[in-house]
Each structure stands twice: as structure tokens, then as C-alpha cells.
Copies of this chain bind each other. A is one copy, B any other.
Amino acid sequence: MNRQTPSARDRILTAANRLFYAEGIRAVSLDNIAEKAGITKKTVYYHFKSKDDLVEAYLASRDQPNLALYRKWFEEADGRLADKVAAIFYQIATAARHPKWKGCGFLRTAAELANMPGHPAMKVGAAHKKKFELWLAEEFERRELDDAAALSRQVVLLLDGAFSTILVHRDADYAEAAGEAARALVDRAVK
């Protein structure tokens, strides 16, 4: 319908997504975001009550899309369970080779706001990561693995380790190493 003009709120969120992800939270001002969205700062404050509120909305807007992507990669991968898990890591390796890739927005925000544990964005980030861990544990349970929860947690650790390590070294090969570790751990559980 009204495809030609997204609402101001949507334009703000789109700009916030791009800038916060590309530059970081504290490196981006609401002036930057307003300019990118083509509106004034006061309009940002009409739709979001503070910068913290916008940061929270930014992460919340990434929750479902990111989870959907992981699910898709898992479901569309061929092979045994271990291969489907490894596929997630190989897809991340591919994504990480794109020059605009800057790691996991949830992890980077958590690192930057580590001095504000009660920040609403931290809660959104923690909930997001927990959802992923639970979803994977359910996939393992469905296949009647023992210790599905523990195994899921180990895979999550490798995944977040891959995000962090790739960012430090700018080397996407770490995702593949993590994928092989995950494959070994899953295979060991499948027995």
C-alpha cells in the first residue's frame, strides 16, 4: 500500500539499526540518527522517550529476524544433526566475510553497556540469547539426546566465541573452527 513513505518511526528505527550496528552505541548521537532518518532530533524524542529507549528498540527489532535466520540455516541444511548445527557456523563465516559485518549486535551492545547491567537493552540481549539456547535445546530434545540443555549451552558458547574472536582477528575462519568443535560435541552426544 503506502510503500513509498515509511513512517517516521520506521525511518528512525532503520537509521538506528544501521548506525548503532556499524558504529556502536555511544559513538552514535541522536543527531546522527535524526540526520540519517531525514527528520529532526525532536521527532526522535517524540517517538522514543530517550536514547536508552531507542537502543532497546534497536535490539528488540533484531530479536526475531536473527532467530529466524538461525532456524532457517539449521532447517535447510542437509545431513545429520551435527551437520545442521555446523551449518549455522559456516553461514556465519560467510556473513562475516562481508566488509560491513561487525559481529553480533547483541554481544557488542552487552560489551559496551557492561557498566549498566540493568539497562533495558541488556535485558533484551540476554532474552535473545536465552531464546536461541532454548530453541537449540528443544531441537536436541526432539531427537532424544541426553543432556540436551548442556549440549545446547556448549554450542552457544562456541557461537558467541566465534562472534567475538572473528571480530578481534578479523578472520572468519574462526567460525569454521567453532563449527567443527560443535560438530564434534554434537556427534559425541548422538554417539
Chain A residues engaging chain B, CB cutoff 8 angstroms: 22-24, 26-27, 102-103, 106-108, 110-115, 117, 122, 125-126, 129-130, 150, 153-154, 156-165, 167-170, 174, 177-178, 180-181, 184-185, 188
Contact = CB atoms under 8 A, between A and B. Distances in A.
Copies, count: 2
B170 A165 contact: no
Contacts of A177: 150, 153-154, 157
B24 A27 contact: no
A181 B158 contact: yes
A122 B169 CA distance: 9
Closest 10 pairs between A and B when the two form their complex, measured CB to CB: A161-B161, A111-B111, A157-B161, A154-B181, A26-B26, A108-B111, A160-B164, A160-B161, A153-B177, A23-B115
A158 B158 contact: yes
